[in-house]
Amino acid sequence: MTPDARAILANMTPSERAEAVRYLRLARAARSVTGAVTWRNPRLRPLPWQLDLGRVCDRIVDSTLTGTGARVTLAAPPRHGKTEWTGRGMPLRAMFASKDRPMPVLYATSAKDRAEEVSSRVRAGVARYFEETGDQRYAPGRKWGTLEWETEAGHAWVALGWSGTTGGIGARLLIMDDVIGSSEVYRSKTTRMRIRRVVQEDLLSRLMDGGAALQMETRRGLEDTTGWLLSEYPDTWESHVWPMWTPDRGYLWPEQYGEAWRARNPHLTDNAPVWRSLYQQEPVPEGGAMIPPEHLRRTYPEDPRIAARLADHIVIGADLAFTGKTTSDHTAAVVLGVRGANRDVLDVVRRQMPWLDQKRALRDLCQKWKPSAVVVEEAANGYAIIDELRAYGIPGVRGEKTGGKDKVARLTPWLGTIAADLRLPESAPWRSDLIGELSAFTGVADAHDDQVDALVWAMVAARGGTWTVDDMDAAIAML
């Protein structure tokens, strides 16, 4: 609120101020989904991630109003208030903003009783809007039931559990809200197939030209409705994901579901499938591997040296071993070229080597690729190599601590980036070995996982790094 607005409110009587605030809230309800949510519940204080969710929902509503018809999937943990924005706030804002043009909404969820609860609250919001504004367009129309109703202007609503009937409605906005609804339903392949047919034949078929569709779900596995839509129609559906925890942001709702909550649920270990799917929204294949082979099929056409010249900048991630003995882990380093959103693997080094060879190998990689950032895990020989490379004058070298997180927890935040943005060369001597290790990684007693960690540290390095090629040339000249 601007200082002038505050001054105007300060000079009002209490009743005038209350009326002004009420009017402002009404206006916000038609301008944003978060505005509609807080108009319904003035005591609610949105979390930062819910504000992000609201902005995505606004884009969906705007696409409906303009007739561009976005199709969006949203994934977030359970019990984090998703439906307040997607199921209640979004249809209210769509109807309020559409004014004279009818806004028919089709809402589908897991069961009839859940559909009734959401429907009742949206209908109550429309009735309250009519009472507060006197706008006849939002007066109750000829239908005013629980699951099906409409206003005088033709703003209509039909809600159902996925096994219900849609009737004859044509929708400008389709909301599919956690249609699977439970692990029991997900485990039934027959039911999953039935739900897919309902989505294709009874829900998406009801969308009017230019209408928008939202598929909102807490992920339960790769074969859930979201996974199916993104796999079958990757160019049609836009995906937005909010993991419960990320290394940059921490927990989505730390006061309610933070470290203390997780400590009371010891089964939610970093590599537990339920944690990775239901809470982190990164489901893994039934066999346990974290990175499906199909996520490693994207390629770039150039030779890696040409791709390096096209990159915005280059980074290196390294996972070092304690010794070079045959019983020790391998030393691994991954070179990434950052080209817009793409993360192009330019080079990989992986072998058992003694301390001096580890140091030379990293120095040679820096000389060859001139990275803007080099990230080394602060473990094993990492501390010493970081100091050695800094002593040589190589810029952008830094160490990263694991923070007590295991390999699964370190990899999980980057699974979406790997799926969407990682690209490999069409041919390279190290390519098949890298694909084999990444696609076999489960986080549980893996025979080899050094390249996994090296890739993670390269992803971390790609978030920053401002050293120029000239800086690197100057440093290399000092070696």
Domains of the chain with bracketed CATH: 1-31 (no CATH), 44-279 (3.40.50), 293-477 (3.30.420.240)
Whether the per-residue pLDDT at 436 is higher than 50: the answer is yes
Mean of pLDDT values over 44-62: 97
Whether the per-residue pLDDT at 455 is higher than 60: the answer is yes
The lowest-confidence range among 127-131, 281-285, 296-300 is: 281-285
pLDDT of residue 6: 67
Look up residue 154 and give its amino acid.
G
pTM: 0.62
Whether the per-residue pLDDT at 21 is higher than 90: the answer is no
pLDDT of residue 2: 59
Mean of pLDDT values over 437-460: 85
Mean of pLDDT values over 381-392: 75
pLDDT range class, residue 467, cuts 50, 70, 90: very low
The lowest-confidence range among 119-123, 133-137, 324-328 is: 324-328
- Of residues 351 and 2, more confidence is placed in 351
Mean of pLDDT values over 414-420: 88
pLDDT of residue 389: 79
pLDDT range class, residue 472, cuts 50, 70, 90: very low
Mean of pLDDT values over 347-368: 90
Mean of pLDDT values over 239-268: 92
Mean of pLDDT values over 418-430: 93
pLDDT range class, residue 154, cuts 50, 70, 90: very high
The lowest-confidence range among 38-52, 180-194, 402-416 is: 402-416
Rounded to the nearest 10 degrees, how much is the dihedral formed by the CA atoms of 183, 188, 189, 194?
A: -90
Whether the per-residue pLDDT at 271 is higher than 90: the answer is no
pLDDT of residue 256: 95
pLDDT of residue 405: 73
Rounded to the nearest integer, the mean pLDDT of the chain is: 87
pLDDT of residue 475: 40
pLDDT range class, residue 22, cuts 50, 70, 90: low
* pLDDT tens digits along 190-231: 999 999 999 999 999 999 999 999 999 999 988 899 999 998
Whether the per-residue pLDDT at 338 is higher than 60: the answer is yes
Most confident residue range from 4-18, 96-110, 220-234 = 96-110
The lowest-confidence range among 198-212, 376-390, 448-462 is: 376-390
- Of residues 353 and 16, more confidence is placed in 353
pLDDT of residue 1: 53
pLDDT of residue 468: 36
pLDDT of residue 374: 92
Most confident residue range from 12-26, 94-108, 235-249, 415-429 = 94-108
Mean of pLDDT values over 291-306: 91
The lowest-confidence range among 27-31, 130-134, 165-169 is: 165-169
Look up residue 269 and give its amino acid.
T
Mean of pLDDT values over 79-108: 96
pLDDT of residue 285: 61
pLDDT range class, residue 119, cuts 50, 70, 90: very high
Whether the per-residue pLDDT at 102 is higher than 70: the answer is yes
